[in-house]
Amino acid sequence: MSRDLLYRSARQIAADVRTGKISAAEVARAFLDRIEATDGQLKAFITLSPIAEPPNPAGPLAGVPVVLKDNLCTRDVPTTCGSKILRDYRAPYEATVVTRLRAAGATILGKTNLDEFAMGSSTENSAFFTTRNPWDLDRVPGGSSGGSAAAVAAGQACAALGSDTGGSIRQPAALCGVVGFKPTYGRVSRYGLVAFGSSLDQIGPITRDVADAALLLQVIGGPDPLDSTSLPDPPPDYLNQIERDIRGLRIGLPKEYFGEGLDSEVRARVMEALKLLESRGATLTDVELPLTPYAIATYYIVAPSEASSNLARYDGVHYGHRTEASGSLIDLYARSRAEGFGPEVRRRIILGTFALSSDRIDAYYHRAQRVRRLIARDFERAFRLVDVIAGPTSPTAAFRIGEKAADPLSMYLCDVYTVSANLAGIPGLSVPCGFTSSDLPVGLQILGRALDDLTVLQVGRAYERETGPMTRRPPLPAPSS
């Protein structure tokens, strides 16, 4: 099968399957061959799924090969969350987004690697193995949806779903040179997503172009009676409204996103992208998000606190790993959790438990929630002046495996430009905008008002139209013709 098929858009694959130019089985076989040829190097997959003909060969995603971050529940294969504590866990139900993908005709190829329980920015925290960046196998793919982003970039899948709690879709998309979209909180049902930070988590697509992201969002979005936080109104027709003339569009540039810590080459590529949009009629306007310096500290109180609560259920009794050591009930709990959770998960549980303790909850958790609201107000004020806010997705391109592993704070700062969107509940998109001199991808981040996911996608699509589809491919083995 030709390399062209592996990098064809989801829209084109679905159209070809619907018209009978190619069968869903042929498409699946081509991508499975690609996985077999490359995943020994890349390590993007935890589990491959049994493949069957799509239930809806006339659907909008007919035959489109999609992979899932392994914190989305599926009946056919285990849901591990990249953790020993759930190594063999099989969910008795499927996530709403998975049900909707299947109904639309998608072929689910498998489950991809992630930082354990989605806690990390490099996919080095997986209990099983480290996924590698397809552009440079000595570097990380980002995280926590690193397996999903790497698989799409490497031609192992046409599209993927990830989850974004503080940048976990957008940051790996930037580091792997693909498109990643975090919708407005509530736009996509979280039912069946294994919870990390319930007020922050959101499921979204990782694709090779913005139009495919719009298509997937159209399929997986919308109200869900199984998720009380899902928005009640149906989403707009993203795909058919994505083309837009951006003349007169106001793009805000926060000075806080272009200061200390931003790599000079990343800055250069992002500014080139913004100047291109300006040359097509958009207006660049300086804006201020003054509470940005407090976003990381706020996030690392709110998110671990919610994680501490959500992960309390993994106790060695109900399901998941159970210690073989004997002892009291308390020993059973403690040993099961110590054996099952990795060091980063344990660190965040301890942080969250501390922040929620009765004598410290006001000083930490309640104060962080107040700052969170002020961060959201920063965005509200900025959006009175502009239509979208833009800047870098990540302060650097992909870093080397092990480079930040011993320095948690340095790792946490990888998400300095992304966590604010989760705290505020607004949509965010990362679009590839060039390469560094080391041939590493750079991402442009576009943020929008809550519920205005369409404008964010339109701006990303406008940039993509000007630059054309990315033709460079990662230097992995080419498939046979």
DSSP string over 458-470:
HHHHHHHHHH-S-
pLDDT per residue as tens digits for the range 103-128: 999 999 999 999 999 999 999 999 99
Entry pTM? 0.97
Count of helix runs (H) and strand runs (E) in the chain: 15, 11
For 3-256+263-288+377-467, CATH gives: 3.90.1300.10
How far apart, in whole angstroms, are the C-alpha atoms of residue 26 and residue 358? 59
Q: Which of 43, 69, 111, 182 is catalytic?
A: 69
Q: What is the pLDDT of residue 2?
A: 59
Sign of CA dihedral 391, 395, 401, 407: negative
Q: Which of 9, 168, 336, 420 is catalytic?
A: 168
Q: What is the pLDDT of residue 469?
A: 75
**144 in active site:** yes
pLDDT per residue as tens digits for the range 405-421: 888 888 999 999 999 99
Distance of CA 389 to the CA centre of its chain: 19
Domain ranges of the chain: 3-256+263-288+377-467
Look at residues 213, 476, 151, 208 and name the one whose alpha carbon lies nearest to residue 142.
Answer: 151
Q: What mean pLDDT do residues 91-114 have?
A: 97
pLDDT at 11 exceeding the cut of 80: yes
Token couple for 122: 């490099």
Q: What is the pLDDT of residue 55?
A: 75
pLDDT per residue as tens digits for the range 321-380: 999 998 999 999 999 999 999 999 999 999 999 999 999 999 999 999 999 999 999 999
Structure confidence at residue 318 as a pLDDT band (50, 70, 90): confident
pLDDT at 40 exceeding the cut of 70: yes
Higher pLDDT, 478 or 337: 337
| Residue entry with tokens 């790599």 | 263
Question: Going by C-beta distance under 8 Å and a sequence separation of 6 or more, which residues neighbour residue 287?
Answer: 252, 253, 254, 255, 382, 385, 386, 389
pLDDT at 451 exceeding the cut of 70: yes
Buried b (16+ CB within 10 A) or exposed e, 368-378: beebbeebbeb
Largest alpha-carbon pair distance within the chain? Answer: 70
**264 in active site:** no
To which H or E segment does residue 346 belong? Answer: helix 343-356
pLDDT per residue as tens digits for the range 256-285: 999 999 999 999 999 999 999 999 999 999
Mean pLDDT estimate for the chain = 96
Q: What is the pLDDT of residue 258?
A: 97
Sign of CA dihedral 194, 196, 199, 201: negative
3-class secondary-structure state, position 321: coil
How far apart, in whole angstroms, are the C-alpha atoms of residue 57 and residue 268? 44
pLDDT per residue as tens digits for the range 173-227: 999 999 999 999 999 999 999 999 999 999 999 999 999 999 999 999 999 999 9
Q: Which of 9, 83, 126, 144 is catalytic?
A: 144
